[in-house]
Amino acid sequence: MRCLVVAVCVLGGSISAAAQQTPASSARTSYTLATASFAGAGKPGEWTSQARDYANTRYSPLEQINATNVASLRLAWSFSDGTQYGHEGGPLVVDDTMYLVTPFPNIAFALDLTKPSPSVKWSFQPNPSPIAIGKACCDAVLRGWAFDDGKLIYNLLDAETVAVDVKTGKQVWRTRMDDPGRGVTMTMSAFTVDGKVFVGNSGGEMGINGWLAALDVTTGKELWRAHAVGPDSDVRLGPDFKPFYPQLEGKDLGVSSWPANMWRTGAGSSWGFISYDPDLKLIYYGTSNPGPRVPAQRPGDNLWTSTMFARDPDTGMAKWAYQFTPHDEWDYDGINEAVLLDMPINGKMRKTLVHFDRNTYAYTLDRTNGEVLVAKNFAYQNWSSGFDMKTGRPIVDPASEPKPGITLDRVCPPDLGQKDWEPPAFSPHTGLLYVGVFNICMKLTDHEVSYIAGTPYDGMEMTRFSVDGKDGDWGAFIAWNPATGTKVWSLPEKFMVMSGAIATAGDIVFYGTTDGWFRAVDAWTGKVLWSQKLGSGVIGQPVTYLGPDGRQYVAVAAGVGGAALVQKSRDGFPPRGNTLYVFSVNGDTIAAQDVPQASTAAAPAAVTPQ
């Protein structure tokens, strides 16, 4: 009955909105004809992994919320988890339960969506060691969690991976992966496929040795571990390893592209999102900057840092690799995600991987072999004067190369890149990618550093500022054509955009800003259709789902922190927060009186004293 009313409302609304549509938005042909497999997604109303599907599209087929009614989004309910660090993950919705994990101390919550929300089914406290707080470069964050085989699986900041039974909220297994005392933390979202969970380490500023590992989902036992630096045996390169570019061929390049022994503390951590192609049987992920961050101390290409790997998930052996920023000099990690799309490029259908790198090139690679098909700048940069398509290497402008003790007044982007880890969304309707970006530069002075275990192996003294001067914007949200490498539209933002983006079949794209705006945008035109200021800045990942009541909801956490804190001295930067906000059309949601068994949650009736 209620759904019927909603349907009528939607229909009624669409007539008036159709009359207002701009000519551009009625041209409904995909810009690129790009498609994705969407394998690994749950039911249409669910959101069962951080990226929703293996291809990392963050696209939902839900369309109840669309251009006709999105302006009526109102708060349905909210949930505060009581923790203080940056909230970078997105809630998962499986069946009628929502799963959340907080930043440190990494408390897990299961919320029953059939009851007036929030209704906590259980919570789980793993009590990680507080020593990890001071070892995490960029706030004590967690970027997500995984659901598989009846378990909620996630990383603890103190370098353990834990699995919790989703029925009971009790720990099933817990595996120590590394030593936080030596500067290793774990902040990435676990990713599961085919009975394995994939996790990597953080600590690219701490002289750690980077790795990605596969654990058995059932037992937590480690199956393999592939390092980003060191000999081929550590990096898991064998006879099947066939990189596209000749400079990536050769024995033990993870040793020989470094000064003697410096690979051991050469970083190459893995702290971004993983994607998976079930047909090619390959997982894709990137590695971090090299250590130390001072390039003068480590001449060479510093393989396999700032690199994308394609690996066999069963064995961990690499099929190919491609290095985005050889001998990175500015902390341009290559950890940003790969979105797996199939699209025609120059008239030929290609299996591609789209990656917005911190170095400000947006790459469209052939995901079968690592060939660069498109490499174009998605924002302003001045470290590279061009791109050599023959060698697959960016051309470095010598004027932007740091030397210890010499100050460079303006290098763009700064260490955070013009896009950090915040993941983009893909719409198969428009064929475009949507992504939050930055518009910033740095003043940089390098200082030579020594390796002291458990302390930063860093050496970059920086101040960051807008590309456009004192009053310039620090961020933007853009729509990107990955076939041509061109920007379709751009929304300027005063503050950095560090939230994930999602796209829906309702042709709405959602994103948040670090000063706390949560926005709904027309996927075709970039027109902002709805904005709501939240209680803190948004660095989380929005999701959308269908509640047990048949309504479409949109949820996002507001809890600023992470690398967004570089803006903390700017006027208008919000305080920290820890609230999940859930929106629906008109704020409609399950009321206490709709659920007989939840009557205790109903408003109390007044009692007259006897």
Partner 1 sequence: MGALRLVIVALLAAGIAAALTGWVLNQRQISARRAYSYYPSPYSPIAPLGGVAGATPAPTAAETPNPLANDPAAVAEGHKLFMSMNCAGCHGYDAKGGMGPNLTDTYWRYGGTPERIYESILNGRPKGMPAWGLALPPQHIWQLVAFIQSLGGTVSSGMAQAAAEGNLPDKGQNKGASDQQ
Q: SS3 of 467, please? A: coil
Q: Is 444 in the site for partner 1 (CB under 8 A)?
A: no
Task: Tell me the torsion sign for CA atoms 585, 95, 521, 538.
Answer: positive
Can residue 405 be called a binding residue for partner 1 (CB under 8 A)?
A: no
**Backbone φ/ψ region at 357: left (φ over 0), alpha (ψ -120 to 50), beta:** beta
Selected from 54, 271, 457, 581, the binder of partner 1 by CB under 8 A is: 457
Whole-number Å distance between alpha carbons of 103 and 82: 10
| R_g of the chain computed on alpha carbons | 23
Shortest distance (Å) from residue 295 CB to partner 1: 16
Q: What does the CA dihedral 349, 351, 356, 359 come to, rounded to 10 degrees?
A: -90
Interface with partner 1 (CB under 8 A), residue from 213, 441, 449, 555: 449
Does position 450 interact with partner 1 (CB under 8 A)? The reply is yes
Residue with tokens 């915040």: 422
In contact, 224 and 315? CB cutoff 8 Å? yes
Distance between alpha carbon 68 and the CA centroid of its chain, in Å?
29
- Residue 461 engages partner 1 in binding (rule: CB under 8 A): yes
Kindly tell me which of 343 and 462 has the beta carbon lying closer to partner 1: 462
Nearest-angstrom CA–CA distance, 221 and 196 = 10
Size of the site for partner 1 (CB under 8 A): 32
Q: How far is the CB of 495 from partner 1 (least distance, A)?
A: 13
Query: Residue 362's CB: how many other CB atoms inside 10 A?
Result: 28
Identified binder of partner 1 from the candidate list 53, 88, 205, 331, rule CB under 8 A: 205
Residue with tokens 């919000």: 574
Report the site for partner 1 in 226-245 (rule: CB under 8 A). Answer: none
Question: Which residues carry out catalysis?
Answer: 205, 289, 331
Q: Which is nearer to partner 1, 136 or 432 (CB)?
A: 136
Longest dimension (CA), the chain: 89
- Tokens encoding 494: 């005063």
Among 34, 136, 153, 505, binds partner 1 (CB under 8 A): 136
Residue placing its CB nearer to partner 1 in the complex, 104 or 324: 104
* Residue 490 DSSP symbol: E
Separation between Cα atoms, residue 362 and residue 485, nearest integer Å = 7
Of 62, 132, 153, 529, the residue at the interface with partner 1 (CB under 8 A) is: 132
Q: What is the nearest approach in angstroms of partner 1 to the Cβ of residue 130?
A: 5
**Binding of partner 1 by 167 (CB under 8 A):** no
Q: For partner 1, give the closer residue by CB, 259 or 575.
A: 575
On whether the CB atoms of residues 456 and 205 are closer than 8 A, the answer is: yes
Which region among 47-55, 372-380, 448-456, 546-554 touches partner 1 (by CB under 8 A)? Answer: 448-456
Out of 120, 131, 296, 598, name the contact with partner 1 by CB under 8 A.
Answer: 131
Token look-up 């950090």 returns 420
Comparing CB distances to partner 1, the nearer of 457 and 545 is 457
36, 110, 133, 523: residue in contact with partner 1 (rule CB under 8 A): 133
C-alpha pair distances (Å), 181 with each of 118, 160, 203: 37, 13, 11
Asked if residues 157 and 204 have their Cβ atoms less than 8 Å apart, the reply is no
Nearer to partner 1 among residue 136 and residue 590 (C-beta):
136
C-beta closer to partner 1: residue 313 or 456: 456
Whichever of 44 and 130 has its CB closer to partner 1, that residue is 130
To the nearest whole angstrom, how small is the minimum distance from the Cβ of residue 455 to partner 1?
Answer: 4
Interaction of residue 447 with partner 1, rule CB under 8 A: yes
Residues with Cβ within 8 Å of residue 561, at least 6 apart in sequence: 84, 85, 86, 87, 88, 103, 139, 141, 539, 576
CA dihedral 320→325→327→333, nearest 10 degrees, is -100
Residue among 505, 360, 344 at smallest CA distance from 435: 360
CB-nearer residue toward partner 1: 134 or 299: 134
Length of the chain equals: 610
CB of 215 to partner 1, least distance (A): 26
Residue 391 CB, shortest distance to partner 1, in Å, is: 34
Q: Does 464 bind partner 1 (CB under 8 A)?
A: no
**The only residue of 18, 33, 71, 134 in contact with partner 1, by rule CB under 8 A:** 134
What is the smallest separation between the CB atom of 138 and partner 1, expressed in angstroms?
8
Sheet arrangement for strand 475-481? 425-427, 432-438, 475-481, 486-493
Q: Tell me, residue by residue from 567 to 606, as one string, x for binding to partner 1 by CB under 8 A and - for no binding.
A: -xx---x-xx------------------------------
Whether the bond between 180 and the residue before it is cis, its omega within 30 degrees of 0, is no
* Residue from 413, 431, 459, 475 in contact with partner 1 (CB under 8 A): 459
Q: Of 51, 62, 100, 137, which lies in the binding site for partner 1, with binding defined by CB under 8 A?
A: 137
- C-beta closer to partner 1: residue 361 or 457: 457
525-533's contacts with Cβ under 8 Å and 24+ in sequence apart are 525/22, 525/24, 525/25, 525/489, 526/479, 526/488, 526/489, 526/490, 526/491, 527/22, 527/25, 528/491, 529/67, 529/70, 529/71, 530/70, 530/71, 530/73, 532/73, 532/75, 532/581, 532/583
Considering the complex, what minimum distance in angstroms separates the CB of residue 17 from partner 1? Answer: 40
Site for partner 1 in 552-571 (CB under 8 A): 560-561, 565, 568-569
For tokens 């200021």, name the residue.
533
- Per-residue interface string for the shown chain with partner 1, residues 272-311, x marking contact by CB under 8 A: ----------------------------------------
In angstroms, give the least distance from the CB of 415 to partner 1.
Answer: 12
135 binds partner 1 (CB under 8 A): yes
Q: Return the number of the residue (230 or 456) whose C-beta is nearest partner 1.
A: 456
Interface pattern 64-103 for partner 1 (x via CB under 8 A): --------------------xx------------------
Among 331, 458, 493, 515, binds partner 1 (CB under 8 A): 458
- Residues of this chain that bind partner 1 (CB under 8 A): 84-85, 130-138, 205, 445, 447, 449-450, 452, 454-459, 461, 560-561, 565, 568-569, 573, 575-576
